[in-house]
Copies of this chain bind each other. A is one copy, B any other.
Amino acid sequence: MLFKYEIEKFLEEDLGYNDVSCKLVPERNVEAMIFTKEKCTLAGIDIAISLFDHFGLQYNSEHSNGDTISKGDTIFHIKGSSIAILRTERLALNFLGHLCGIATNTKKCVDIARNYSDTVKIACTRKTTPGLRKYEKMAVVAGGGDTHRFNLSDTVMIKDNHVKMMGVDGAIISAKEKASFTQKIEVEVESADDAIKATKAGADIIMLDNMKPSEIIDIVDFIKTLTLTNHPIIEISGGIDINNLEEYAKTGADVISMGSLIHKSRWIDVSMEIIASNITD
């Protein structure tokens, strides 16, 4: 969801105060289409629609966020004032290009992981472009991924320096006291021992950070053998991207976190073309 005040702020950045070129020719009623120049998974459809609504443009689309479409496919047909369409163009394409890039990268990673597991989740992290986190995380969702926590106040994350000062048990006890019952508690561990301690102390999520696939497999297997009253989620993280994902997907971890879903994505080449001028509505 893009609030109206957000739309105006984004437009202000691109329009400036005196767009001379839109005054060179008279305003007309035109029809345009937005299409992709490469296969991609869609995201940002809702944001583009908010922009069209802002400018009073008519639109239709056969696609939704999450659809994978082919090179040349049309994403939107739009109709309306030529000036409004030109003012929408760059912002709509910048959102679609960036967000479809994230969704497409995510979808590819999810597909790779599905070869090895029906349930493993591919999650992004807090490595997001400043100011755009909510849009980028929703693009990850469109690609079949998991948002992970939104900010520092969502899930409680116990890090290595907490563990150093308080021990795994101490840190988890303290976190349970201070956290809300609605929050999960995640512990970042660097050894099998700590993973097991955290499991026994009742962590909801155990994050194995920067471990080799073989180490991960050992820990996952061991934890599965434990008789537990709760089953922690095993998350792995650290330097994983589309190129090395396969070996991590085999480990049996429940969640694979990849900052690279967002920061190694690249924009999809989407474009707008005016297909008819002076149409009668």
A interface residues, Cβ below 8 angstroms from B: 1, 3-5, 8-25, 87, 90-91, 93-95, 97-98, 101, 121, 123, 126-134, 137-138, 141, 146-159, 161-162, 165-166, 171, 174-175, 178-184, 186, 205, 228-231, 233, 235, 254-255, 263-264, 266-267, 274, 277
Q: Which single residue of chain B is at the shortest CB-CB distance from A263?
A: B267
Contact B147 A94 (CB under 8 A): no
A157→B147 CA distance, assembly (Å)? 17
Number of copies: 6
Which of the listed residues A21, A159, A263 has the most CB atoms from chain B within 10 Å of its own CB? A21
Contact A10 B130 (CB under 8 A): yes
A14→B128 CA distance, assembly (Å)? 10
Contact A123 B21 (CB under 8 A): no
Contact A178 B129 (CB under 8 A): no
A15→B1 CA distance, assembly (Å)? 10
Contact A156 B3 (CB under 8 A): no
Contact A15 B266 (CB under 8 A): no
CB neighbours of A13 from chain B (8 A)? 130-131, 133-134, 151
